[in-house]
Amino acid sequence: MGLTLAQKIIKNHLVCGEMIPGKEIGLKIDQTLTQDATGTMAYLQFEAMNINRVKTELSVAYIDHNTLQNGFENADDHQFIQTVAQKRGIRFSRPGNGICHQVHLERFGVPGKTLLGSDSHTPTGGGIGMLAMGAGGLDVAVAMGGGTYYIPMPYIVNVELKGTLSPWVAAKDIILEVLRIMSVKGGVGKIIEYSGDGVKSLSVPERATITNMGAELGATTSIFPSDEITKEFLKAQEREADFTELKADADAVYDEKIVIELEKLVPLAAMPHMPDNVKAVTEIGEIAIDQVCIGSCTNSSLFDMLKVAAILKGKTVASNVSLSIAPGSKQVLNMLAQNGALADMIAAGARILESACGPCIGMGQSPNSKGISLRTFNRNFEGRSGTADAGVYLVSPEVAAASAINGYLTDPRTLGEMPTIRMPEKFAVNDNMILLPDSIDTAADRIIKYGPNIKSVPTGNPLEKTISAKVMLKVGDNITTDHIMPAGAKILPYRSNVPYLSKFCFGVCDTEFPERCKSEGGGFIIGGANYGQGSSREHAALVPLYLGIRAVITKSFARMHKANLINSGIIPLTFKNPEDYDKISQNDVLTLTDIQSAVSSLSNAKLINETTGEAFELELDLSDRARSILLAGGMLNYTANN
Ligand code: MIC
Ligand code: SF4
């Protein structure tokens, strides 16, 4: 029986376990990436491991999230990360060099390698044929130290792309269609592998738009074959030597299959407040808009920007719209400047932002009250833009630019003939904003700079026999890590200060949650399905740990958040009978009887609702390793004990 492409890469990197879907496997990680919002914590954890130099083939530290610097905190974190990177053998991508995923694709991605990143959109690398996964900072720190990365062996879904896209329809519409079909929980435990004759009509950055936003399916990762198009891209980046041809065997067997006929696709939009709330632009209608933001790791490549510039050329942004554009990397911005496309954007009235995440993570450009914002980004969760009552629609660069000019949501097919975009044969390669690490000889003298905002990482306690406490919060389905631990300009600078961050935990759902936890000493969280979807941020586990949360009981979990809870020593449990969710209310007193022995023996756990007198069975879906980590009270204790 043949193998799929993902299975081949997994096989080549398998350290332990069997490739049986659902069973835990251990993978060797070739490359890592971090960004600054998760990186500070990751490097604090790396430093705590006392490892002199990273043991990966390549590790890169990017500064792209916290670049607002409205206070000393961000700049201090940048210095901390820079000094660790230089001392420990890590390349450092300076602020201004671009968004981690865009730069990594351009300058470092290698087909067939594994990449682990402390950011959920690391699967962008799947566009160039990498097995690229997002994880919490601690898992990335372990991988930098040469440690194995563990995941449940994913099921493989084949998405066959047939034909070619019609004019004005974009790669973004392909992934929006996949989200419409599969939903934000449809990819949990799965790898999405693309194939079909339609693949060859998509450039590497277009493929990367699709693998990037595969994160919104909850998928472990997404991957495209590495072919002639990949070779062209690498050649244009002066990296032809990194090319290897990679594809699935002809007789590969997939667990699921989806066929998408590209000709039939139309411009789509994900409506507020979920990336799978997808409708055709024409179906939504010509709604009035207030803002358009173009950029983010999903849609900020040179190709995207050239399309936008061509649409804006000679026009003026509508008077009711604020248009911002953030090219994804210094390379993209530079080339736009060189070929005049940047001038077309500026002349049309676009507000040009630095090459960074910016508005995507609420670092500026929050819309007006009840504002309608069209964004080429990947997430439209409630409140993420920084304006609680704003409505964010996720669209392609074509829809965004056409709408910015008209002042209302516009199907770009109404603009007439689509401009032809000519891509250069060579990109402007200049890595002067990537600092190389110190040599082994000089590294010893490098002093790591710790700013005053950098506080210690909270650690858990060994698991007690029985846990009895109150329900601190009950929430519904699809709770994101943006609900649990919001980001944005006011909060993001405190990612290395958990005590301060804790004041904002669950702020979108219930502003009294932190105080309640403090006065009651913590307790349980009850959640619905797909709890913890979205980002890789381990702060969504570390902050609840700091607030005394001992267990989270849900209908189901998102992969990365579940791993982060385990690493923090918080027990993730699911209802054996999902209807039992309705039988627990906030403030009920619950007892997890004999939880220590349930975790030790990996049996089901028993929960008693002391307030109602009812008893329920809970499932513990843990690997042997996860069990030991929970018993020890988290990954740091577990590592110290071993
Ligand atoms: C995001 O898009 O939500 C982020 C900000 O990039 C996060 C990482 C973080 O919270 O720092 C992610 O996607 O993992
Ligand atoms: Fe940055 Fe947004 Fe991409 Fe996250 S999704 S890495 S915040 S651009």
Q: How confident is the model at residue 12 (pLDDT cuts 50, 70, 90)?
A: very high
Which ligand number lies closest to the CA of residue 560? 1
Q: Is the CB of 378 under 6 A from ligand 1?
A: no
Is 438 part of any domain?
Answer: no
Are 393 and 494 part of one and the same domain? no
Distance CA 324, CA 291 (A): 8
Whether residue 642 has pLDDT greater than 90: no
* pLDDT above 90 for 42: yes
Token match 């990017």: residue? 62
Contact 637, 569 (CB under 8 A): yes
**Residue 516: how many other CB atoms lie within 10 Å:** 18
Cβ 120 under 6 angstroms from ligand 1: yes
The pLDDT of residue 601 is: 94
Active site residue 300: no
What pLDDT does residue 430 have?
Answer: 98
Q: Report if residue 616 sits inside a domain.
A: yes
Pocket test for ligand 2, best of 297, 304, 392, 482 (most atoms within 8 A of CB): 297
pLDDT at 329: 98
In this predicted model, what pLDDT tens digit does every residue of 564-587 receive, in sequence order?
A: 999 999 999 999 999 999 999 999
Read off the pLDDT of each residue in 145-158 and give the average, rounded to a whole number: 97
Q: How far is the CA of 535 from the centre of ligand 1 (A)?
A: 5
Per residue in 88-106, pLDDT (tens digit) is 999 999 999 999 999 999 9
Phi, psi of 208 (to 5 degrees): -70, -30
Q: What residue's CA is closest to ligand 1, atom 1?
A: 535
Contact 530, 184 (CB under 8 A): yes
Whether residues 303 and 382 fall in one domain: yes
Inside any domain, residue 499: yes
Q: What is the pLDDT of residue 457?
A: 86
Per-residue pLDDT of 469-506, as tens digits, reads 999 999 999 999 999 999 999 999 999 999 999 999 99
Residue of minimum CA distance from atom 1 in ligand 2: 357
Q: What is the pLDDT of residue 183?
A: 98
| Structural domain boundaries, residue 608 | 467-641
Counting atoms of ligand 2 from 1, which one is nearest the CA of 296? Answer: 8
- Say which ligand is closest to the CA of 297: 2
Ligand 2 pocket check: which of 93, 294, 378 to mutate, most ligand atoms within 8 Å of Cβ?
378
Is residue 588 flagged as an active site residue? Answer: no
Indicate whether 618 pLDDT > 90: yes
Question: Do 302 and 381 fall into the same domain?
Answer: yes
Residue 365 has pLDDT above 90, yes or no: yes
Task: Name the phi and psi angles at 228, rounded to 5.
Answer: -55, -35
* Residue 549: count of CB within 10 angstroms of its CB: 24
CATH number at residue 318: 3.30.499.10
Using DSSP bridges, classify how beta strands 523-526 and 467-474 pair: parallel, antiparallel or unpaired: parallel
| Parallel, antiparallel or unpaired: strands 589-593 and 605-609 | antiparallel
Is residue 126 in a domain? Answer: no
Residue 639 has a pLDDT of: 85
408 and 493 co-located in one domain: no
Radius of gyration of the chain (CA): 24
Integer CA distances (angstroms), 120 to 21, 116, 133, in order: 21, 10, 7
Ligand 2: distance of its center to the CA of 87 in Å?
27
List the one residue out of 356, 269, 346 whose CA is nearest residue 94.
356
Ligand number with the minimum distance to the CA of 486: 1
Mean pLDDT of 203-213: 98
Distance CA 430, CA 333 (A): 12
Instruction: Extract the tokens encoding 425.
Output: 């044969």
Ligand 2, residue 487: give the atom nearest the CA. 7
One-letter amino acid for residue 365 of the chain: Q
Domain endpoint, select from 393, 413, 433: 413
Cβ atoms within 10 Å, residue 544? 28
As a whole number of angstroms, the distance between CA 211 and CA 143 comes to: 22
User: Does the pLDDT at position 602 exceed 90?
Assistant: no
Among the listed residues 301, 535, 536, 568, the single catalytic one is: 535
Ligand 1 pocket check for 384: Cβ under 6 Å = no
> Catalytic: which of 119, 242, 438, 482?
119
Q: What percent of the chain has pLDDT over 70?
A: 100
Given a cut of 90, is residue 1 above it in pLDDT? no
Question: Which of 83-92, 474-483, 632-641 is predicted with the least confidence, judged by mean pLDDT?
Answer: 632-641
pTM higher than 0.85? yes
Q: DSSP string covering 363-423, please? A: SS-PPPTT-EEEESSS---TTTTS-TT-EEEE--HHHHHHHHHHSB---GGGG-SPPP-PP
Provide φ and ψ at 287, rounded to 5°: -70, 150
pLDDT of residue 260: 98
> Is 535 among the residues known to form the active site?
yes
- 316, part of any domain: yes
Q: What is the mean pLDDT of residues 24-46?
A: 97
Is residue 212 in some structural domain?
A: no
Query: Which ligand is nearest to the Cα of residue 358, counting in written order?
Result: 2
d(CA 360, CA 328): 12
Q: Which pLDDT tens digit goes with each residue over 231-246?
A: 999 999 999 999 999 9
User: What ligand is nearest to the CA atom of residue 293?
Assistant: 2
In the predicted structure, residue 55 carries a pLDDT above the cut 90: yes
Q: DSSP for 308-368, please give it.
A: HHHHHTT----TT-EEEE--SBHHHHHHHHHHSHHHHHHHHT-EE--SS-GGGGTSS-PPP
Q: What is the pLDDT of residues 299-340, one digit of tens each?
A: 999 999 999 999 999 999 999 999 999 999 999 999 999 999
CATH of the domain at 521: 3.20.19.10
- State whether the beta carbon of 38 lies less than 6 angstroms from ligand 1: yes
Catalytic residue among 65, 101, 207, 483: 65
Residue 434 belongs to what H/E stretch?
Answer: strand 434-435
pLDDT at 198 over 90: yes
Of the residues 368, 392, 413, the one at which a domain ends = 413
The domain boundary residue, chosen from 381, 413, 445: 413
Instruction: Render pLDDT for 369-416 as a digit per residue (tens, 0 to 9).
Output: 999 999 999 999 999 999 999 999 999 999 999 999 999 999 999 999
> Across the chain, what does the average pLDDT equal?
97
Residues 404 and 304 in one domain: yes
Residues 401 and 520 in one domain: no
pLDDT at 456: 85
Total tally of structural domains belonging to the chain? 2
Cα(180)–Cα(279) distance, integer angstroms: 8
Q: Beta strand 615-619 with 571-575: parallel, antiparallel or unpaired?
A: antiparallel
335 lies in a domain?
yes
Residue 524 near residue 549, CB atoms below 8 Å:
yes
State which of 392, 535, 539 you would mutate to test the pocket of ligand 1, scoring each by most atoms of that ligand within 8 A of its C-beta. 535
76 is catalytic: no
Please state the φ and ψ torsions of residue 326, each to the nearest 5 degrees: -120, 100
User: Are the CB atoms for 280 and 396 separated by under 8 Å?
Assistant: no
Q: Is 536 in the pocket of ligand 1 (CB under 6 A)?
A: yes
Contacts 24+ apart (CB under 8 A), 429-434: 429/237, 429/238, 429/331, 430/330, 430/331, 430/334, 431/107, 433/93, 433/94, 433/96, 433/97, 433/330, 434/60, 434/91, 434/92, 434/93, 434/94, 434/97, 434/107
Q: pLDDT confidence of 257, banded at 50, 70, 90?
A: very high
C-beta of 121 in contact with ligand 1 (< 6 A)? yes
For residue 419, name the pLDDT band (cuts at 50, 70, 90). very high
Distance 218 CA to ligand 1 centre (A): 14
| Token pair for 187 | 């990819």
Q: Indicate whether residue 361 lines ligand 1 (CB < 6 A).
A: yes
- Based on the residue annotation, tell me whether 446 is a catalytic residue of this protein: no
Pocket test for ligand 2, best of 357, 363, 375 (most atoms within 8 A of CB): 357
Residues with CB under 6 A from ligand 2: 65, 99, 119, 121, 296-297, 357, 360-361, 377-378
pLDDT of residue 640: 81
* DSSP-assigned letter for residue 432: T
Least confident of 68-72, 268-272, 414-418: 68-72
Catalytic residue at 379?
Answer: yes
Angle at 140 between CA 220 and CA 484, to 5 degrees: 65
Question: Which pLDDT value is given to residue 83?
Answer: 98
* 73 occurs within a structural domain: no
What pLDDT is attached to residue 417?
96
330, 275, 321: which is closest to 298 by C-alpha? 275
- For residue 540 the two structure tokens come to 């969504």
Average pLDDT over residues 45-56: 94
- Ligand 1 center to residue 397 CA distance, Å? 21
Do 489 and 624 fall into the same domain? yes
DSSP 76-134: HHHHHHHHHHHHHT-EEE-TTSB-HHHHHHHHT--TT-EEEESSTTGGGGGGGT-EEEE
